[in-house]
Amino acid sequence: MIDKTLPIDQALAAVHDGQTVMVGGFGVPGTPFLLLDHLLKQGARNLTLVKNDANEPGMGISKLLEAGRVRTLIASHLGLNPTAVAMMNRREIDVDLYPQGILAEKIRAGGAGLIGILTDIGIDTMLRESRQLVSLEGREAILEPALRADIALIHAAAADRCGNLVFAKSARNFSPLMAMAADRVIVEAETVVPTGSLDPDGVHLPGAFVDHIVALEKLTPDYGVLPQHVR
């Protein structure tokens, strides 16, 4: 029987200095906090991180940024993390910001074996100054290269032992796209169930994209409801 479960330290031994790491999540939902905390302990540095946002100060990827482990951050919006914005403005990290859906589509294209995508988003803005422009069927477009990574770190609500994943509610976001676009995909799962017990119609990401599964024993407070966002 295929069993992709692995102790967390063995799974993260695959991450090396200088690699590109995609991190699922949009705010708290979908952020693999345990994998990120262990990556901090594991010590890899000079990383390029790809994540929609930078979490919030002291949480998730912000811990790696604050510890000086990240050279480049590719993201869409850092609005909830003033620490990351300050580091960007002091040039302590390089930050590449993309329109959110274009970032998603670059990753999806990378996962789908495409070389790039053509889009008109931002064509009348300052974005065009830093982009490659092409013409197709009489229309001007921005050429965006596809994006891939060495590693993807993903949080799932449930996994079976052969790697089929189920995400919860708004925690799906970038996770299935990133899992498609990385050479090695490490998943932390709140529940690990025997292969065959997930409804095939309800699988959000097929196991072909998953290399390692780490079972979460308990959820730390980072995964919970954040008091600062309660009305």
Under rule CB under 8 A, residue 164 binds another protein? no
Question: Using an 8 Å Cβ cutoff, are 24 and 204 in contact?
Answer: no
Cα distances (Å, whole numbers) of residue 118 to 40, 104, 181? 36, 13, 18
Q: What are phi and psi of 57, to 5 degrees?
A: -50, 135
- Closest to another protein by CB, 126 vs 136, is 126
Under rule CB under 8 A, residue 173 binds another protein? yes
The 3-state DSSP class for residue 195 equals coil
CB atoms inside a 10 Å sphere around CB 130:
9
Question: Which of 6, 40, 97, 193 is the binder for another protein (CB under 8 A)?
Answer: 97
Per-residue binding letters, 65-94, with another protein (x by CB under 8 A): ----------xxxxxx----x--xx-----
Per-residue binding letters, 125-144, with another protein (x by CB under 8 A): xxx-----------------
Under rule CB under 8 A, residue 206 binds another protein? no
Question: Which of 20, 52, 62, 164 is the binder for another protein (CB under 8 A)?
Answer: 52
Question: Distance (Å, rounded) from C-alpha 179 to C-alpha 108?
Answer: 9
Question: Which of 21, 174, 209, 214 is the binder for another protein (CB under 8 A)?
Answer: 174
DSSP line for 161-174 = TT--EE--GGG-TT
- Closest to another protein by CB, 46 vs 170, is 170
**If 0-12 CB within 10 Å is exposed, 13-18 middle and 19+ buried, where does residue 194 land?**
exposed
Q: Which residues sit at the interface with another protein, rule CB under 8 A?
A: 26-29, 52, 75-80, 85, 88-89, 97-102, 104-105, 107-108, 119-122, 124-127, 157, 168-177, 223-226, 229-231
